[in-house]
Amino acid sequence: MAAPLISPSILSADFAQLGEEVRAIDAAGADWIHIDVMDGHFVPNLTIGPGVVKALRPHSAKPFDVHLMVSPVDIYLEAFAAAGADIITVHPESGPHVHRTVQAIRTLGKKAGIALNPGTPAKMLDYLIDEIDLVLVMSVNPGFGGQSFIASQLRKIEAIRKMIEKSGRAIHLEVDGGIDAVTARQCTSAGADVLVAGTATFKGGAGRYAANIAVLKGVD
Ligand code: DX5
Ligand code: ZN
């Protein structure tokens, strides 16, 4: 099994020095940079807007993996694309026409992802799978870092891996929430190839980031 890509969530970084934190995880071996955008409405927390994404863009050349937890979402796609997002992931519940939202992301020249909440079935992907570049399985309810992994999502990861294989398309299968050394292994065994990790990346401070990422990749 290939080592997963690691996309550290900067939600767990020191917000007083975000640029330095992004440079530190880049140097420590992060593959992507996961940016959690929350609107205080779709989820009960407020975080980052396109201005911050733009300000961070010069600090890393790695893909910006932007997870939008915003409703309605369509009106913000262009701003995040212009700010430097490479992958834009949306929740099907965050607008009335998810297929149109995916088309809009791709028209902007960005990769499109669909995020599935723990209660949202894999079946939601049936008529989207041919249009998307990434599926994000939420293994916690979105809104906060530091929550416990919901084990029932492993079955969903397995089911989606089968759907992706059947589609014959190159679609990333990413998991977000409660990832640690143990759950990372469970997710990759179930078929995930990208892991988001906030708490597990940033714990212990900058001196630990490389070791923390190596543990998640399984090369410790
Ligand atoms: C939750 C966010 C996650 C979160 C992960 O809504 O989408 O990206 O930051 O944090 P950990 O890794 O701490 O569970
Ligand atoms: Zn996220």
φ/ψ of 87, rounded to 5, equals -120, 130
Distance 66 CA to ligand 2 centre (A): 8
Question: What CATH number is given to the structural domain containing 185?
Answer: 3.20.20.70
* Cα distances (Å, whole numbers) of residue 220 to 123, 203, 208, 217: 36, 16, 12, 8
pLDDT tens per residue across span 78-125: 999 999 999 999 999 999 999 999 999 999 999 999 999 999 999 999
Residue 29 reports pLDDT greater than 90:
yes
Span 181-203, pLDDT tens digits: 999 999 999 999 999 999 999 99
- Interval 124-160: pLDDT, tens: 999 999 999 999 999 999 999 999 999 999 999 999 9
Nearest atom in ligand 1 to 11's CA: 9
Beta carbon of 39 within 6 Å of any ligand 1 atom: no
Distance 140 CA to ligand 1 centre (A): 8
Active-site residue identified among 26, 65, 74, 176: 176
The closest ligand to the CA of 146 turns out to be 1
Q: 68 CA to middle of ligand 2, Å? A: 8
Helix, strand, coil shares of the chain as percentages rounded to 5?
Answer: 45, 20, 40
Amino acid residing at 211: A
Q: Is 177 in the pocket of ligand 1 (CB under 6 A)?
A: yes
For atom 6 of ligand 1, which residue has the closest CA? 142
pLDDT single digits (tens) 172-181: 999 999 999 9
Is the CB–ligand 1 distance for residue 66 below 6 Å? no
On whether the CB atoms of residues 114 and 102 are closer than 8 A, the answer is: yes
The answer to whether 33 and 11 have CB atoms below 8 angstroms apart is: no
- The bound ligand whose nearest atom lies closest to the alpha carbon of 11 is 1
Share of residues in the chain with pLDDT > 70 (%) = 100
User: Which atom of ligand 1 has the smallest separation from the CA of 142?
Assistant: 6
Quick one: average pLDDT of 44-57? 98
> Residue 104 is part of which domain span?
5-217
pLDDT for residue 45: 98
- Is 84 exposed, middle or buried, given 0-12, 13-18 or 19+ CB atoms closer than 10 A? middle
Structural domain count, the chain: 1
In the structure, what pLDDT confidence band is assigned to residue 219 with cuts at 50, 70 and 90? confident
